[in-house]
Amino acid sequence: MATTSKTIAFSIFEKNLLSNLILDNKNYKVIIENKKTDNITLARKESTWAKISAEFNFHSGVNCREQKQLKLLYKNLKAKAKKDVSREKREQHMTGCGLPPTAIDSISKIFAQFLPQQFDSLPNSYNDDACFNKEAFTGVGFGQL
């Protein structure tokens, strides 16, 4: 039977540090968020993650983490941010006298601010709500057929 060692959970400080390291450095963000999968791009991504890992482990107050752990944390933080932003949008569009929408955490706000193309929905002129907005309606005029 293989033994698995339990790793220490990431602290809030470590999560903030990783998100700030990646999102504040434009070069890191562009390389990591690149959707290409060719050999050159993958090599750049690996070298960038190695640099991020070295910078992360250089800071005092953090546990030494492997590159693989940091990648997984970044992926999970981004997924959580997308989930939080979509939940907030859903709650804002709810009707009734319920509770106000819960605020999203600071890390999710950082991701939504620095990666807006992944969080903003695409415009849809064929949405049910589009007929209430005359500028969005591009088809036949109202009352005309």
Give the pLDDT confidence score for residue 112 in this predicted structure: 76
Q: Quick check: is 144 in a domain?
A: no
If one compares 50 and 88, the residue with the highest pLDDT of the two is 50
pLDDT in tens, 10-67: 899 999 999 989 888 889 989 998 999 999 999 999 999 999 999 999 998 899 999 9
pLDDT in tens, 132-143: 544 444 555 545
Q: Quick check: is 143 in a domain?
A: no
Whether the pLDDT of residue 145 is over 90: the answer is: no
Q: Quick check: is 29 in a domain?
A: yes
Give the pLDDT confidence score for residue 46 in this predicted structure: 95
Give the pLDDT confidence score for residue 23 in this predicted structure: 84
Residue carrying structure tokens 């709650």: 91
Q: Quick check: is 128 in a domain?
A: no
Give the pLDDT confidence score for residue 96 in this predicted structure: 63
The boundaries of the domain holding residue 60 are 12-121
Give the pLDDT confidence score for residue 137 in this predicted structure: 47
- Find the Cα–Cα–Cα–Cα dihedral 88, 94, 98, 100, rounded to 10°: 30
Give the pLDDT confidence score for residue 136 in this predicted structure: 47
Give the pLDDT confidence score for residue 39 in this predicted structure: 95
Give the pLDDT confidence score for residue 43 in this predicted structure: 95
Task: Give one DSSP letter per residue of the chain, joined into a string.
Answer: ----PPPPPPPHHHHHHHHHHHHHSHHHHHHHT----SHHHHHHHHHHHHHHHHHHHHSTTS----HHHHHHHHHHHHHHHHHHHHHHHHHHT--SS-PPPPPPPHHHHHHHHH-HHHHSPPP-TTSGGGGG-TTT--SSPTT--
Residue 56 contacts residue 18 (beta carbons within 8 Å): yes
- The whole-angstrom distance between residue 130's C-alpha and the CA centroid of its chain comes to 28
Q: Quick check: is 135 in a domain?
A: no
Q: Quick check: is 145 in a domain?
A: no
> pLDDT band at residue 105, thresholds of 50, 70 and 90?
confident
Mean pLDDT, residues 124-139 taken together: 54
Q: Quick check: is 36 in a domain?
A: yes
Number of domains in the chain: 1
Q: Quick check: is 117 in a domain?
A: yes
If one compares 41 and 92, the residue with the highest pLDDT of the two is 41
